[in-house]
Amino acid sequence: MQTELSMPASIRGNTSAYMDWVQMLTGAALIVFMWCHMLLVASVNLGTGVFDALAAFLEYTYMAQIGGPMIGVVFLVHFALAIRKIPVTSVQQKGMWNQARMLRHKDTWLWVVQAVTAMIILVMAGVHLWAILTNLPITTAKSAQRIQEGGWFWFYLVLLPMAELHVGIGFYRIGVKWGFVGRRGRKRFQMLEYAITGAFLAIGLVTLFTFATVSL
Ligand code: HEM
């Protein structure tokens, strides 16, 4: 089988462009998933009955059993494509760091934050997915017990900002890189990204507090 590097330059160029597309599309799908996920989990703030009813609906329609592993696969494909551009050796990382310091451009720093959060999310979201999907059905009682007695409160306190930063910056970068947002609209788009990230962080913290205090 031909590796990408042993292919003629024209084919290599196409392959790389397709990979960029799939990386963007899987990233966009994960952004939409995360927004829905945060709102679904936040339904516990409206009452434990609301959360349990939504979780039961996802179970009944097999969205949890089938959709859950599918998200895991999209997550892995996204990672496998994104790692092509993330500096992994210490020499590459040092080069990236020096370039970012030299360029002094906000978007370059945003990219550095995205690369660092990606590594943390890869491990933590993998653990989270396993913990949830091997312990179905999802119920308020189980989630609250995990958070109150299983030490998951601190785990989510780290994963939440990592995921929201990654999703927020990803949203901004898709808009800018793929030309959905022009140079003139960039500042306003950045403000929108800050607002969305801030709102989801706040919702996540309130939800975490609710799980931590709901009676078992
Ligand atoms: C199908 C996939 C997923 C399911 C079914 C799921 C389900 C859940 C559930 C039930 C909770 C409540 C807490 C608990 O029960 O332990 C939760 C919380 C959380 N999940 Fe997921 N999750 C999924 C994927 C992800 C992914 C991919 C990420 C991050 C990249 C993520 C990040 C979080 C965070 C940060 C919290 C804490 C929420 C908060 O502070 O309000 N989840 N998830």
Q: Which whole number is the average pLDDT over 66-91? A: 89
> What rounded mean pLDDT belongs to the chain?
90
User: Using a 6 Å cutoff on CB, does residue 163 contact ligand 1?
Assistant: yes
- Write the pLDDT tens digit of every residue in 113-162: 999 999 999 999 999 999 998 988 999 999 999 999 888 999 999 999 99
User: Using a 6 Å cutoff on CB, does residue 200 contact ligand 1?
Assistant: no
- Write the pLDDT tens digit of every residue in 97-113: 888 787 777 778 888 89
Ligand 1 centre to CA of 7 (Å) is: 41
CATH level 2 (architecture), domain 14-213: Up-down Bundle (1.20)
Q: From CA 120, how far away is CA 124, in angstroms rounded?
A: 6
Q: What is the pLDDT of residue 2?
A: 45
User: Using a 6 Å cutoff on CB, does residue 71 contact ligand 1?
Assistant: yes
Q: For the chain, report the end-to-end CA distance as a whole number of angstroms.
A: 56
Q: Which residue has the tokens 């952004």?
A: 31
Q: Which atom of ligand 1 is nearest to the CA of 71?
A: 1
User: Are residues 195 and 143 in contact, defined by beta-carbon separation less than 8 angstroms?
Assistant: no
Q: At what angle do helices 140-149 and 152-177 cross, to 10 degrees?
A: 110
pLDDT band at 44 (very low <50, low <70, confident <90, very high): very high
Residue whose Cα lies nearest atom 14 of ligand 1: it is 143
Q: From CA 203, how far away is CA 209, in angstroms rounded?
A: 10
Pocket test for ligand 1, best of 34, 37, 75, 130 (most atoms within 8 A of CB): 37
